[in-house]
Structure 1
């Protein structure tokens, strides 16, 4: 079966789309800041036009479900739901942190990755992931397992958890958080990478095994992952 997937991501400052068609990948990446809503649909149209495809010729849509900014994740979720409903397509949600780990693997062959994206408010979107090669009837894929679950926390809390795990050795550090906060800059665990933000391109690699394992949802069941929503709720006066 020739799988055709379109991935999009607006969860961070980056805005990206990527297409898998006839076994080949194409992608468009921009740093859009506050213009995601203006850029993402034209980028989708452009990448489909380049391949002579219509939306209803896709097998599924893939999207970065977060973590990321409220606005960015919400934009990506809304656009994905609208496109999927209009073309009657299933949706494959992908973690933005896992996508960055996948980028580390594809670009640097790293299978041990620590992600830290600047979340503002002296916090980072943080996870520690280790890759496991899994063989199936559809081929060999890298599955990312959480050593430390994705979360939003202060740089100091991230460091404390890594130390508690006695983290050492050949880890690759990815994300904007390593340069944004002095605590992380001065205490790298392994090598700091030039990979700063997630890209839809690397979501495709994660979406392929998810498709074959039927790990997709209906458009109406798509749910974003903010991570910060519960923390913010608890900080409100009168909330526990």
Structure 2
């Protein structure tokens, strides 16, 4: 038996959410269904708006001090990979990468939608099917469908993270819990609201359920090197627009350089 220490970060919403967990158990290769002691958890979950980046590192330091642990005690860094706020996703990814590089640790990306499903199950252990749906703005919904596998002690992805209008979500054909804030954001415009057996509007991206899911992923070896950690934006349209903006900026810079070059050489010829 070993002690596993994992740091989990999420800044995909207006909250800066950090959890530090210390769990007794094998670091990897545990048998499905193996009984474990509940991990010790230290957490900061604060509404910071657009300034999560300024609060994230201080919150991490506070948790390690509170737990009487050092960064060197950490076995992995997990982060909410998205979907969510683009700026927030980049913040969590960058901090997770920086810490993991410095400590030579693996990184555990966890979908924010999976964190919603995990939150719903932590709040009600009878939950075995979750349609996680988050307000994506622009009159759209980020959503995914998860089924709990008792034999494996893990979530199975029925429908990976997607982006659709509220009326286009594919509903599970079995009783399900609707998790996330899409029900509050769209109301009756979201057919899943009326179809759900239970609605859990408080099952939202949070570092604690993210850490629970990440511990299982770590033990199963589902990690990535720090240089391969990346946000999961889902909204390709916006990502493409960003790429187009970068290309346009480069083109303008190149054009300005040509003009400056021509003007300089023109003056020299006169």
TM more than 0.5: yes
Q: Give the whole-Å Cα distance in 2 for the aligned partners of 1:9 and 1:134.
A: 29
Match of 1:27 among 7, 22, 43: 43
TM-score, structure 2 as length reference: 0.77
Residue 149, structure 1, aligned to residue 160, structure 2: yes
Q: Give the whole-Å Cα distance in 1 for the aligned partners of 2:48 and 2:241.
A: 31
Q: Give the whole-Å Cα distance in 1 for the aligned partners of 2:14 and 2:236.
A: 19
What secondary structure sits across from 1:179 in the alignment?
helix
- 5+ unaligned residues in a row in structure 1: which ranges? 136-140
Match of 1:48 among 56, 64, 69: 64
Q: Give the whole-Å Cα distance in 2 for the aligned partners of 1:77 and 1:134.
A: 32
Distance 1:236 1:154, change over 3 A: farther
Residue 77 (structure 1) shift: 0.5
Q: Which residue of 2 aligns with 1:138?
A: none
Q: Which residue of 2 aligns with 1:116?
A: 133
Residue 209 (structure 1) shift: 2.2
Residue 230 (structure 1) shift: 4.7
Contact 2:131 2:144 in 1 (8 A): yes
CA offsets, 1:58-115, max 9 Å, x none? 0111111111121111111111111111222211111111111111111112111111
CA RMSD of aligned residues (A): 2.1
- Structure number with the higher helix fraction is 2
5 Å-filtered alignment, 1:1-240, equals: 1-22=2-23, 23-109=39-125, 110-135=127-152, 141=153, 143-158=154-169, 161-162=170-171, 167-169=173-175, 171-182=176-187, 183-184=189-190, 187-230=194-237, 233=240
Greater gyration radius: 2
